[in-house]
Amino acid sequence: MIRRPLRTMTALLGAAAAVTAFATPASAATPVLNESAGPVTLAATQQRLGVSLGAAFAGSWLDKTTGELVVGTTDRSHSARIRAAGAIPKVVRHNIAELKKIQSTLDNRSAGVPASVAGWYVDAPTNEVVVSVVGGAPEGRAWATAAGVPVRVAQVKSAPRPLWAVIGGQGLYFSGGACSVGFNAYDDDDHYVITAGHCTELGGTVRGVDGTIGKVARSSFPGNDYGTVRVTQSDVSTPPRVDRYEDGSDVRIEGADVVGVGGRICRSGITTHWRCGRVEALDQTVNYGDGNIVQGLTQTDACAEPGDSGGSFVSRPSSGSGTKLVQAQGMTSGGSGDCDEGGTTFFQPVKEVLDRYDLTLEKD
C-alpha cells in the first residue's frame, strides 16, 4: 500500500456650491433618537419624515460624534415637526431629489470616466455630491468639473477593487504545484491561510482562485505537516468557511473541538471536492518514504487524491436548514488508495499549528 503526500507537483499558469447650514436644538420635551433606538425604529422615523416633508426632505443620518438622528430640510418651517419626531433638524440648500439628479448626471457620463475617479455619491451631512479622485489626479478633477453640475472633489488614497475570499477546500497554487486551502486564521497583526507543510515547503508567492494571496510565512515538514501563508493583498478576505462544492452551500467554522475515534468527519479539496467518512485512529505516525516521517496525524476512511493536500477536515455538519456550523479538525496530509476504490487519508490536527504559531481561527 503506497502512502504519499497529496500534492500535485505540476507548474501552473499560473458645491462646489457654498452653503450655510445650522442645527436647531432639539426640544427638551421630545428625546432625540440615537443609535440605541435600533435600526428598525430609526428607519421607520426616517421614512415617516421623508414622506411628511415631501420636497423639503434633504436626507437623514446619524451624527458621528453623538449618534443622534439628524434630518435635513430645505424649509426652516419644518424644524418643529422634525424635533417632534425625535430628530435634530438641519436646514440646507439642496433637497434629496436635487442631489440625486446631480448624481444621475454623473452616472450618465460614466462611459468616459478616467481610472483615477474612484466613484461618486450623495453626502447627506454636507448636502453635496462628492466625486472621489485617487491622489487628486488632474484628469479626474477635470472629469468631475466638466459635468456642469455642483460637486465637491475629494482626494482618496487608492482606487477600489473587487474583494475575493479564500475559502477552505479551494485551490492554493505554488510555483511548483497545487494544494488546497485548509483554514483561515489570524494573530495580533496579520491574517494567514493554513495548509499542509509539504505544500508550503515549496515556498514563494502563493495564489488562490482569483489572484495572489501572499507568501509562505512558516513551514514544518517532515515531523509535522503544516504551514502558513501570510495574506498580503488588500483585496483578499479570509472568512471562516469551507467549500462543499456540489454537495451544498459553504459550512462555517465555529470552533476546533476534536472528533474522536468513530466520529463522523468530512473533508474538502480541489481534486475530489467534498468527501465524508469516520475517524479511525488518533496520534498516528506515518512514513511517507524517503525519510519523510510525520507524527501526530489522524487516520480516516474519507478518500482523497493528489491536489487535496492541505484541504479542510471538519466535523460532519448537522442536517437541517440554515447555515451549517462545523468544528475545524485539520488539514489533509496524505494517504493511500483513491476515491474510485476507496482509501485511507491522514490529516494534521489544526490545533497543533494554532498553538505553535499563536494563531486564532477566523470568525464572522
Catalytic residues: 198, 225, 309
- Which residue(s) pair with 214 in the sheet? 206, 231
| Pairing label, strands 293-300, 273-287 | antiparallel
* Residues 319, 323, 325, 328, Cα dihedral to 10°: 120
Other CB atoms within 10 Å distance of the CB of residue 318? 10
Yes or no: say if 282 and 297 are a contact pair by the CB < 8 Å rule.
Answer: no
C-alpha cell read off for 130: 462628492
117-123 β-sheet, strand order: 117-123, 128-134, 152-156
Residues 6+ apart with CB under 8 A from 58: 71, 72, 73, 74, 90, 92, 94, 95, 96, 99, 124, 127
